[in-house]
Amino acid sequence: MKTKLSARVRTLAPSATLAVDGTVKKLQSQGKKILNLSLGEPDFDTPKNIQDAAILAMQKGHTHYTTTAGITKLREEVAKKFLKENHISYDPSEIVVGVGSKQLLYNALMVLCDEGDEVIVPVPTWSTYIEQIKLCKATPCEAKMKPPFKLTVKDLEKKISKKTKAIILNSPANPTGAVIEEEELKNITKLAMAKNVWIIADEIYEKILYMDTRRHAELDSASKEIPKQDGYRTVTRQVRDDKVKKIQHISIASFGREIKARTITINGFSKSYAMTGWRIGYAGGPKEVISAMINLQSQTTSNTSSLAQYAGVEALTGSQRSIKKMADAFAKRRRFLLKAFVADLDRLSVVPPEGAFYLFINVTKCLGKEYKTSSDWCTGLLEKEHVALVPGEAFLYPGWVRLSFAAADDVLEEAVKRIKRFVKISN
């Protein structure tokens, strides 16, 4: 019997990064050693104090359903975190904890959007937004950005219409690592209020930021060798900028009551605390919307794992030393990569990421007869050199590829050697 699946899933694109990972696993099962730089997850284990909190919770018998929205203690701690770190004052009743920020994004879209609504998504983008918007029967509206991929209000103004229901903001961004400037966030605030649209702010990478003043000296040696490229923010320029301006994460909902009333701020533990497998995230927003999200969750997943919630309390209240250690390791790898690719800038160009743990690389000069698209190029790299990257097609930005540096130093060093070898022969 031929099964007729719903139209909803017939058009659903599978997660591109997970698809690359599937190919990697297949090659690995054939005995091939693959350097996998395709994954969007820290390569560190969850810090021990967090693991211990989950074990203790289990031993204490916290193994039952919790309230759908999450245990009170965690919602209280999330509210405190938002106030202290993000300058947003949410009551715990305005917080919902769910199965990762991915689910909360979906729930937010589900409770806000009807068929015919449009949601603006800055591109390059994490393709999950696009698919989730479609699942809600709304229409994604791509706001295409150019390198260095820093979103401006102008990018959004071009796309706004009477049908616009919401704008997705992701800063620091996947796949570019770009951080939206404070001035632009203020302009976007004005736009959202004037046009009566919602903001869904995905702040999952907020704690992984680079380019503070302390790190300039180390980047300087790389910057001198990078030639000026029109349209790109070169490393030289970046270093100069950041001597004046420190890269910082700012939550749009912190700009006042009015914008807070139309913003859903989404975050989670996956990236900051290396807790991808625990499946826990949270959202803050106006009570009416959060209540609707809780209601939706009560009919789908119910609460996320009770143990993950107790672990989440420890993550927020315990020592934050491990976050710094991980962030420092990412910063070191990022510096290594920027220096390593300097010599190849005639064929590759990179935009130095300001946050997250990805390097977005322009490979258009390596495309031609054999590799026509960045997707072909990634397949070639995987087959010939056994290095897995994600093609820009997965981020609606062909011609580029994403390299995740959430991988061990020796893996990165070997991968760079192989990529460079492949760049020389690819056309």
Residue ranges binding ligand PLP (CB under 6 A) = 40, 100-102, 126, 170, 174, 202, 204, 268, 270, 276, 281
Alpha carbon distance 130, 336 (integer Å): 33
Strand pairing category for 164-170 and 95-98 = unpaired
Question: What residues contact residue 68 under an 8 Å CB cut-off, 6+ apart?
Answer: 294, 297, 298, 302, 303
Q: Which is nearer to ligand PLP, 129 or 198 (CB)?
A: 129
Q: Which is nearer to ligand PLP, 140 or 222 (CB)?
A: 140
Cβ-contact 41, 390 below 8 angstroms: no
Residue 171 CB, nearest approach to ligand PLP (Å) = 10
Residue 46 CB, nearest approach to ligand PLP (Å) = 13
Q: Which is nearer to ligand PLP, 111 or 266 (CB)?
A: 266
Q: Which is nearer to ligand PLP, 102 or 165 (CB)?
A: 102
* Alpha-helix residue ranges (DSSP H) falling in 224-320: 235-244, 257-260, 287-298, 306-317
Alpha carbon distance 32, 38 (integer Å): 16
Residue 21 CB, nearest approach to ligand PLP (Å) = 12
Q: Which is nearer to ligand PLP, 131 or 157 (CB)?
A: 131
Residue 276 CB, nearest approach to ligand PLP (Å) = 5
Residue 390 CB, nearest approach to ligand PLP (Å) = 11
CA angle at residue 67 from 66 to 73, to 5 degrees? 80
Amino acid at 141: C
Q: Which is nearer to ligand PLP, 100 or 352 (CB)?
A: 100
Number of residue whose CB is nearest ligand PLP: 100
Phi-psi group of 23: left, alpha or beta (phi > 0 → left; psi -120 to 50 → alpha; rest → beta): alpha
Burial of 204 per CB tally in 10 Å (0-12, 13-18, 19+): buried
H or E stretch covering 36: strand 35-36
Residue 112 CB, nearest approach to ligand PLP (Å) = 17
Q: Which is nearer to ligand PLP, 171 or 362 (CB)?
A: 171
Residue 161 CB, nearest approach to ligand PLP (Å) = 25
Six token digits for residue 164: 């616009």
